[in-house]
Amino acid sequence: MDITHIYNGPIGLETRHAGPTDGEVVIMLHGFPECWNTWKHQLPVLAEAGYRVYAPNMRGYGLSSKPDGVDAYHVDQLIKDVDAIRRHSGAKKIHLVGHDWGAIVAWWYALNKPEHLASLSILNVPHPTAFLKVLKSKPSQLLKSWYIFYFQLPFLPELTVPFKQFFFFRNVLARTSNKGSYEQSDYDELLKHWKTPGSLKAMINYYRSAIRSQPKPPNGNTIDTPTQILWGERDLALSLDMAYLSEKYLTNGSLTTYPDATHWLAHDKPDEINQRLLRHFQSYSSR
């Protein structure tokens, strides 16, 4: 696995990549509060299967650029980073995979740039319209999303989250994932990323941007790209009905749920996720 900085104008994206240069291109987007390491189980398997795989640290994470200002983390800006990686790869169409915030960006890319997608794979995050509908109609989901509102406070999250070696982040991951899904090496890698100067503020600015602006898709909410939603039913932050509602916005999509998995599906079910991804890519070739 190699590391390259891929540029979207002045924004540099620290990107792990593997697999043959002539393989179909897969871009994998991590979420909060993780990093490229979300996909440590997927990268070698997909590369071995002949795919050219790119796993960036999203802007603000790791050694990727950390632009100032909340507006720099708007989804309209984040999808430009994805497209910069696509252009760097030379591919006209890609297979796009996203989890958590990476899935939010992947959904938005599909709604704005469907012409560049061969397939879409989403892990444990609803279609943006489904999320808003459930958030507005169910007080229980508002309670589950308390952290989003905490992150709107100025300065306080940046001051409190690093306490005791980022105990808040470590505790959330340990408490909300299956036992053994995260190894000590995972926490070590994440702690290194969390401690990178400027990263925490940038990570929180994703949420600040999301609250301040709720853009509308340019061509409606329906997605025609072949899409699979993979969902751990033991997700403590996002309700399962969001997943079922998301499926209604797909003209060529499927939903697979895992009763014994959590929000951190790529860690909980690595072999199953690898099989699902490969099957989906093979069914909808980018060539």
Which residues are designated catalytic? 100, 207, 263
Could you give the CA distance from residue 237 to residue 216 in angstroms, rounded to a whole number?
24
Q: Provide DSSP, 58-97.
A: PTTSTTS---SSGGGGSHHHHHHHHHHHHHHHT-SSEEEE
| Rounded-to-integer distance, Cα 65 and Cα 175, Å | 30
Q: What is residue 36's DSSP assignment? A: G
User: What is the 8-class DSSP label of residue 115?
Assistant: G
- Structural tokens at position 242: 């969001």
> Is the separation of the CB atoms in 239 and 142 below 8 Å?
no
Please state whether beta strands 94-99 and 25-29 pair in parallel, antiparallel, or not at all (unpaired): parallel
C-alpha–C-alpha distance, residues 88 and 205, integer Å: 26
Q: Which residues contact 12 (CB under 8 A, 6 or more apart)?
A: 5, 6, 63, 64, 65
Distance CA 193, CA 64 (A): 10
